[in-house]
Structure 1
Amino acid sequence: MQAPSCPFPRMMRAVALQCLSVWLCSCATAASLAVLSSSGPADELNLLLFKSELSDPAGALSSWNTSNPLCRWRGVTCGRRHPERVVALNLNSSHLAGGRVSPFLGNLTFLRTLNLGDNDLGGQVPPELGRLSRLQVLNLSLNALQGSIPAALGRCTKLRVLNLRNNLLQGEIPVQIGSLENLEILNLFANNLSGQIPPSIANLSSLQTLNLGNNTLSGAIPSSFGCMPHLSLLSLQFNNLSGLIPPPIWNISSLKGLSVVGNALSGTIPAGAFANLPLLQLFYMSYNQFHGHVPAILANSSELQRIELGYNFFSGTVPPEVGGLQNLESLALSNNLLQATTPSDWNFMSTLSNCSQLQYLDLASNELGGMLPSSISNLSTSLVYLSLSRNRILGNIPERIGNLLQLQVLSLENNLLTGTLPSSLSILTNLGDLSLGRNNLSGSVLLTIGNLTQLSNLYLGYNTFSGSIPSTVGNLASLLNIDFSTNNLTGIIPSSLFNISTLSLGLDLSYNCLEGSIPSEIGNLKNLVEFRAASNRLSHEIPPTLGDCEILQNIYLQNNFLEGSIPPLLSRLKGLEILDLSSNKLSGQMPKFLEDLNTLHYLNLSFNNFIGEVPFTGIFTNATTVSVQGNDKLCGGIQDLHLPPCSFESSKKNKLLLKTIIIPLVAVLGVIFLVFFLLAWNKQRSNRNPSTASIQGYPSVSYLTLAKATNGFSTANLLGSGTFGSVYKGNLGGDRGDSANIVAIKVLKLQTPGALKSFTVECEAIRNTRHRNLVKIMTLCSSIDSKGDDFKAIVFEFMPNGSLEDWLHPDQNEEKHLDLLKRVSILLDVGYALDYLHSYGAAPIAHCDLKPSNVLLDVDLVAHVGDFGLARILTEGNSFPQNSTSSMGFRGTIGYAAPEYGAGNVISIQGDVYSYGILILEIVTGKRPTDSMFIQGLNLHKYAEMAIHGGVMDVVDMRLFSHIKKGSPATDDSSTFSRTYDPSDERRIDCTDLTS
């Protein structure tokens, strides 16, 4: 393929220079390693090489230079017998980034401690660390390390601590770890490790802490774990383990913590399980499939502080013996099948009053019944969380519930409780969550509820409360959510309710007997997301200030007596999703702004008194998402709404005037107009050949021709669909199979706002452009379809190899592949196209939407830039203010568009250059700029930037070199040059160790 003669873009030269510099750096690194291996120990040089690969924004390594003695460098400790050798390197929490754990650290043969935890290092754990025969502590936790755990670490036989938690490591745990006979702590928490747990770990007879939680390990727990006599903490939480807990584990007398939360373990807890666990403090078994009874013998483990058995299938009663655990702080038994029917079944509640340290008690979602014992008021005054929700508990809330002075959460919803609210509730001034909904509570809402100033959630819905809403609720300045729904509340809505500026999650007053108007102060709730006041007796108009609640998403005001029209200020609610105003007395025209709310997906205006024509656009195009029935004076709208057509007939007098005067006059004028039209048409016809009629400089083609070419626009010929149009494959040659007649036909979605403007812009932008790397327009169609609607289409040259997007991100069942040379060639083609648009056309053109899906490939994989629907001809130098040229809003695609476009700034060729840079990064890395890995401030630029200093191979799409791998033998340094690349490596895990 002959390269064009136009200049090579400067950007491509910069990319080439960068690649050259990376290659030279790699060569220099390899040379240095060879020197070190032959010239003996040189700890200072090894550390400087390690530093050269890092980014040090906090200046932690500022003292690392040859002007300072090695032993005075920050984090460096030298030996006493060998003062020139480094024995410890401690750079924990030093904000190091942009680099890797250098293999040169494997040359520090006197090293006993290596602590690089809590930084932002990437790459792999270097196998060279296996040379450190004296190493006792290795901490690489809280980084972004990838790849597998090297088996070579099994040679560090003096290791006492191996901490690799919170990284991105994958693969299986190497069996060689079982050779570390001196290991006391093995922490691999929060990685992507898979496979089975190697039984060889049981050989670690000195092991005290084993934490393998938050991985994807599978299979059974090895029974040999019971042979580790010093094990004090065993954490296997959140894996895919199954089967039973091996009986030998219940005999590890040194065990203080056992966590198997979040697996698929099953079976029962043996009756004598706790007989040999006198030191056990933490017992976590939630989110499994255990069944049977909670064993009473657990009281033998007198040191127990936390018991979590929730989300299992435990049945029977709660053993009262739990009250003998004097150190108990937390008891979580929720989401099981535990029962209580008689008063004796509740004896455990009385015995728990002996647990003076108890802070957390969760018995929610069980089958507890019977009367709620008053002994609940005698629980520890340290209690901060109490939940008995979603059971079948009867009786009253004990009056002395106020004894639990430290209580922050009281959750008793979804039970059968009766009676009134105890007055002592107002004493619980630390309460943040009060959930008493879905019971049979009655009486009035306490006036003193305003004392609970720390409340963030107040849920009293689905009871039988009566009286008015106390105005003191306005004192609850920390509330996020209020639910008074489905009660018998009366009176007006207190305006003080709308002074709670924190109210955001929801305000639910529905299904009561509230009267009067909606206070105008509702506009104070700037952060409110949902407002419900349905099925009350509210009257007067909807306050316009409701439009000040600009974050509102859902409004339910149906079944009231609201009057007047819908306030125009509701047009400010740009995020509105649901609006239900049905069954009121609203009137007036259908507001125009409703069809412009793009987020609105449910609108119910039925059974009101609206008049006039129903719109045809926006939400009104779908009869399943809009309801207007019961408004007798509405007309028009789409056919599925079944409304009568709008009639503009006048009175009988006007009809007579129409027949006797207006109609004859119009007829005469019509004849005159027709004569002039025919004369003009004949004159125009004589001046041109009908067969060469064109639109905007392009030859025309009929709708019928395109319909025949696409087999009636069959879905079998659909190539893709976008915002403004759908693209079909068509054959303009009829039955002939000549490939020259195969075209791509873009049919505009004229019902989409901006589609017609996009059609005009695309035709105008490339009317006078001619370049081999631009998609060529063959012809146009501006006609009427078979339904009598407007029809517009653009016919393009067909690109048999689809888009660059299809090749960079193929489906799993596709085997499309672009090697390095092909990708560079495509980048050149796109660069030439942009260079022509910006510098060599009749006027500079900014494409404004450069991305892989708009780069099409012909049969020879030559790239052609297409889709000029957002392009802009720059008539004032090289830029044009966006807000003065476009009515289509934000230009471009998220991730590819220049940042200044999002701020409404000027459109310029620099914006295309930015998009081209993103395209280069996507081609090199194989990652979209919108990849799910890019969160918490990480984006494609930073991802690539972090790899510049020695980690380029960690981000490069390894498919680039597949042809090289197939044609050459594997290198010895497989850890650096031959590892396979898995996009799942990029997931960053941010979890909290439940056992810490």
Structure 2
Amino acid sequence: MANWLIIFFTSIVWWCCFGNTPATCLQNETDRSALIAFKSAIDQDPFGSLISWNDSVHYCDWNGILCSHRHPNRVVKLRLRSQGLVGSLSPHIGNLSFLKSLILRNNSFHGPIPQEIGRLFRLQNISLRKNSFHGEVPTNFSQCSNLEILDLIGNNLTGNIPAELGSLSKLTFLGLTTNKISGTIPPSLGNLSSLTQLFTGPLPISLSNASKLQQIGFDDNSFVGPMPRDLGRLLSLQKFGVGDNLLQDDLSFISSLTNCTSLKAFSVTGNFLRGPVPKSIANLSSEVSIIIMQDNEIYGSLPSGIGNLPNLGIFDMVMNHLSGPIPTTIGKLHNLHRLYLGVNYFTQLPSSIGNLTLLNTLYLGRNKIHGSIPSSLGNCKNLLDLNLAHNNFHGSIPPEIMSLSSISISFNLSYNALTGSLPLEVGSLKNLEKLDVSNNRLLGSIPNSLSNCLSLEWLHLEGNSFEGEIPQSLRELRGLQELDLSRNNLSGLIPSYLSELHLEKLNLSFNKLHGRVPMEGIFRNESAISVDGNNDLCGGIPYLRLPLCPSSKSSKNKLSHKMKVILAVVVVLVLCSILLGCLFIFLHWRRVSRKTAFSVPSLKHHLLRVSYAELLKATDGFSEDKLIGVGNYGSVYKGILDQVQTMVAVKALNLQLRGASKSFMSECKALRFIRHRNLLKILSACSSVDFQGNEFKALVYEFMANGSLEKWLHHDGIENNGQQESRNLKFIQRLNIAIDVASAIEYLHCHCDSTIIHGDLKPSNVLLDDEMIAHVGDFGLAKIISTISNEVVQHQSNSTAVRGTIGYVAPEYAMGNRASTIADVYSYGILLMEMFTGKRPTDNVFKDDLTLHILVESALPDQVLEIVDPRILSEHEPRSWLKDTLVSVLRIGVACSMESPRDRMQIQDVVNALCKIKKVRENNRLRQD
């Protein structure tokens, strides 16, 4: 009887698995059920990638599913890359026992990674990059003994790296960077004899165990400490990158890299590496093609041995403190394509630079290089981009470099001391887009040969001594967008053809032009033109405030020449008297105000004197109950100060953090003499010691009852006595705040004794008082500059590295540009678009090439209501009027956040434009009432 039962059940199983029934077998149904559970855990499927996952189609034909040929109906690959899927990863994924590839990268999966994946011993590839998984890396990944690729880069994983991963003997790629993983790399990873690529962190003390490593990446984290001391044991190492971290060390690790005979590239950009470049750099592998060490604290001279690297193609030392002459041996790097030595203190450029005949990019801007520009540069026939700006070059411009027809991106010799004329050979630059020779000492007329440069979009000749008329030949430059001829000695009439070109900006100010200003084309755009300082111009649009042009008929009642002279002398004497009087009053006021700036404690006008003990008492011992915010360098508490008997905000700095003391000094300097209704007022600065003898620094501000703009934009409600209160900004409130912030920035840029650059404009640094008036605060990254002989002097550290907040910092800072007011305008543009869309620039929706700027720009004007904050649309405003107003506001945000600094609006124009929008709204409301 038992034998018959065995035969019966065996027949049932055989029939289930091999018979012609729809339910092919129990195991196959397990795969289908696992996929259904996977789909059920998906909350959003914006592209419809799972539409085919239904009973009308066999699951082996579902989108993203591949089944085995050897084992029919068994799923071997699940691939749904970049489908915008939102949801969690179902634990039933562990039932796909034949699965070899699990590829879900670039989606929005969240929650923990299921431990059940450890059951899938056939898995070879796990790619979950760029999602939002959190929790720890599952330890039982180690059971996936066939795993070759484990890619978890770009999630929110925490905890330590599991030591069990060291048992994955077939693993070749391990990616864990851009997470929140802590601890060190476990020694067990040294057992991974097949591992060739490691992208993880934090930075380990030792890497010698993983002797097969070919590529290491520790980019874009916040790792601190020294470099590994045994890199030289990684004999297979080809690429090594530690970029944008906080590593603090010397450059001795370069000596250990000389043992890595296969090394082809290393990058240590954006750290705090300090010290001279060791001579051992000359002993690196002859295979090295890329060396990038920009944005560090490297000083001293560049070793002459750098010329011993025959295959070096990219050499980047931008934004350091290197000095002395650029070694002549640089000319031995015959394979060099890109040379970046800008923003240093180099003093000489050797003529051997002309030996680099394959050079595409040469960036030496912002050094102290003197002497003449080597004519040998004319041998670099492959040059595309040349930047020698902000140096001390003198003499004439060599015609040889003006003959380099290959230069097509940018030709920049601005801010030097070059003399002579602009060579006629400039006409050879037929493919050039940007030419800038501004702020030199060039003479003569503007050559007609410029008309051959038909690709020119930007032409800057300002700040020289060009004379004669504006040549008619420039009318051939039909693609010209920006033309600046200001501060020269040009004379004659304004050519009418300038109104025919499609210019976006035109500056003719401070020349000797005369006659009528056209009223067509760009001359109708008050924000795009400037003709100031040409005393004999007339006419034009009213905004220019020029005198009316005289009638062609002579006047009968002309004053005599003698009378004209007498009147002119009288007017000049009266004006001089008035100016001298105003100057005396101003200097007296300034002397008195500075002398008494810190003398008498007064809440309204002067700084209070407070001690550590008083601040400790006011904040209940800096208790958590009084904590209202945490910044980059410290915490902010609220409390009642006995001296004023009113609520204040106390920013206590954490002096253990790098840059905290510098932030304190920057904020004190920036706020000491400025007064504006839209700037956060400082009441006191305390520099003392606490009761344990530790250094203590704090700033005391007026308390802002309504907190930060950040919380109003991105938090649905606030706690009030246990109750949740709704928090929302109406359209008019957002517009008023936008005007307040723009007004504050305009004041800093244009109306202070020295120009102040805020440097970190974002919603969390905009605070709202009890009347919802905005106040810009946090000047810890501020730069104070003054203009002396047209040169910018920064009253800050010698470093030109500019820190800011990701998403708000201007893109040119990544290229090594110094702090500038136009970079604040970029940050303001991002903030303005965030205010009206409700989207942070760092939201998860912004991936790949999509940014907040692109989102808004592409939606203008027709789809603007689809991208704005939905809370604005719930207001009782006429929809057509609201749309038009939003379009106007967001266009300003787009114009402020253009990638090129020259394309951005000026902050004065921003204030005027927003005020006009508000005025139009008020007039419309009055008509409706």
Normalising by the residue count of structure 1, what TM-score does the alignment of the two structures yield?
0.52
SS in 1 for 2:339: strand
Greater radius of gyration (CA): 1
1:410 to 386, 389, 408: 386
Distance change in 2, residues 1:716/1:630 (3 Å) = farther
Give yes or no for contact 1:526–1:548 (8 Å, CA) kept in 2: no
The offset of 1:137, in angstroms, is 1.0
1:256 aligns with 2:238: yes
1:429 to 406, 414, 417: 406
The offset of 1:315, in angstroms, is 3.7
* Stretch moving more, 196-205 or 456-465: 196-205
Give yes or no for contact 1:445–1:470 (8 Å, CA) kept in 2: yes
SS in 1 for 2:39: helix
The Cα offsets for residues 274-303 of structure 1, whole Å up to 9 and x where unpaired, read as 331101111112222231224335434111
Q: Which residue of 1 is the match for residue 204 of structure 2?
A: 222
Q: Which residue of 1 is the match for residue 180 of structure 2?
A: 193
Structure 2, unpaired ranges of 5+: 1-25, 550-566, 569-573, 579-584, 587-643, 649-704, 737-770, 772-834, 839-855, 878-889, 895-929
The offset of 1:566, in angstroms, is 5.9
Give yes or no for contact 1:181–1:203 (8 Å, CA) kept in 2: no
The offset of 1:83, in angstroms, is 3.0
Q: Which residue of 2 is the match for residue 331 of structure 1?
A: 315
CA distance in 1, matches of 2:258, 2:710: 63
1:915 to 858, 874, 884: 874
The offset of 1:385, in angstroms, is 0.6
Structure 1, unpaired ranges of 5+: 1-37, 571-580, 589-607, 610-628, 634-639, 642-713, 719-801, 831-846, 854-866, 868-892, 919-931, 937-996
Q: Which residue of 1 is the match for residue 39 of structure 2?
A: 51
Q: Which residue of 2 is the match for residue 137 of structure 1?
A: 125
1:308 aligns with 2:297: no
Give yes or no for contact 1:156–1:180 (8 Å, CA) kept in 2: no
Q: Which residue of 1 is the match for residue 219 of structure 2?
A: 237
The offset of 1:252, in angstroms, is 1.0
Distance change in 2, residues 1:54/1:450 (3 Å) = farther
The offset of 1:257, in angstroms, is 0.7
The offset of 1:431, in angstroms, is 2.9
Q: Which residue of 2 is the match for residue 349 of structure 1?
A: 330
CA distance in 1, matches of 2:219, 2:864: 51
Distance change in 2, residues 1:80/1:248 (3 Å) = same
1:379 aligns with 2:356: yes
1:458 to 428, 435, 440: 435
Give yes or no for contact 1:269–1:295 (8 Å, CA) kept in 2: no
Amino acid at match of 2:236: S
1:275 aligns with 2:275: no
The offset of 1:434, in angstroms, is 0.7
Amino acid at match of 2:162: V
Distance change in 2, residues 1:207/1:538 (3 Å) = farther
Q: Which residue of 2 is the match for residue 364 of structure 1?
A: 342
CA distance in 1, matches of 2:872, 2:302: 68
User: How is 1:602-617 mapped onto 2 (pairs within 5 angstroms)?
Assistant: none
Q: Which residue of 2 is the match for residue 285 of structure 1?
A: 268
Distance change in 2, residues 1:176/1:495 (3 Å) = farther
SS in 1 for 2:719: coil
Give yes or no for contact 1:420–1:443 (8 Å, CA) kept in 2: yes
Distance change in 2, residues 1:492/1:339 (3 Å) = same
SS in 2 for 1:114: strand
1:485 aligns with 2:388: no
Would you say how many aligned residue pairs link Structure 1 and Structure 2?
597
User: How is 1:522-533 mapped onto 2 (pairs within 5 angstroms)?
Assistant: 522-524=498-500, 526=502, 528-529=504-505, 531-533=506-508
CA distance in 2, matches of 1:337, 1:806: 38
The offset of 1:306, in angstroms, is 0.3
The offset of 1:162, in angstroms, is 1.1
The Cα offsets for residues 40-73 of structure 1, whole Å up to 9 and x where unpaired, read as 9610122133235365565655654444444444
Amino acid at match of 1:238: D
User: How is 1:799-878 mapped onto 2 (pairs within 5 angstroms)?
Assistant: 816=719
After superposition, the CA RMSD in angstroms is 5.2
Distance change in 2, residues 1:96/1:240 (3 Å) = closer
Q: Which residue of 2 is the match for residue 599 of structure 1?
A: none
CA distance in 2, matches of 1:901, 1:410: 36
The Cα offsets for residues 7-47 of structure 1, whole Å up to 9 and x where unpaired, read as xxxxxxxxxxxxxxxxxxxxxxxxxxxxxxx9996101221
The Cα offsets for residues 552-583 of structure 1, whole Å up to 9 and x where unpaired, read as 36x5543321443561377xxxxxxxxxx8xx
1:561 aligns with 2:520: no
CA distance in 2, matches of 1:297, 1:430: 31
The offset of 1:376, in angstroms, is 1.5
Normalising by the residue count of structure 2, what TM-score does the alignment of the two structures yield?
0.55
SS in 1 for 2:129: coil
Distance change in 2, residues 1:503/1:197 (3 Å) = farther
Q: Which residue of 1 is the match for residue 804 of structure 2?
A: none
Amino acid at match of 1:106: G
CA distance in 1, matches of 2:50, 2:492: 70
CA distance in 2, matches of 1:461, 1:155: 66
The Cα offsets for residues 142-194 of structure 1, whole Å up to 9 and x where unpaired, read as 445556645554554543211123x44253444356445333211234x3425
Give yes or no for contact 1:178–1:204 (8 Å, CA) kept in 2: no
SS in 2 for 1:418: strand
Give yes or no for contact 2:258–2:280 (8 Å, CA) kept in 1: no
SS in 1 for 2:383: coil
Q: Which one scores higher on RCO, CA 8 angstroms, separation ≥ 6?
A: 1
CA distance in 2, matches of 1:226, 1:549: 68
The offset of 1:249, in angstroms, is 1.9
The offset of 1:97, in angstroms, is 2.9
The offset of 1:330, in angstroms, is 0.7
CA distance in 2, matches of 1:223, 1:306: 24
Give yes or no for contact 1:237–1:261 (8 Å, CA) kept in 2: yes
The offset of 1:474, in angstroms, is 4.1
SS in 2 for 1:250: helix
CA distance in 2, matches of 1:904, 1:298: 58
Amino acid at match of 1:302: S
CA distance in 2, matches of 1:630, 1:304: 68
CA distance in 1, matches of 2:493, 2:365: 35
CA distance in 2, matches of 1:435, 1:339: 22
Distance change in 2, residues 1:314/1:137 (3 Å) = same
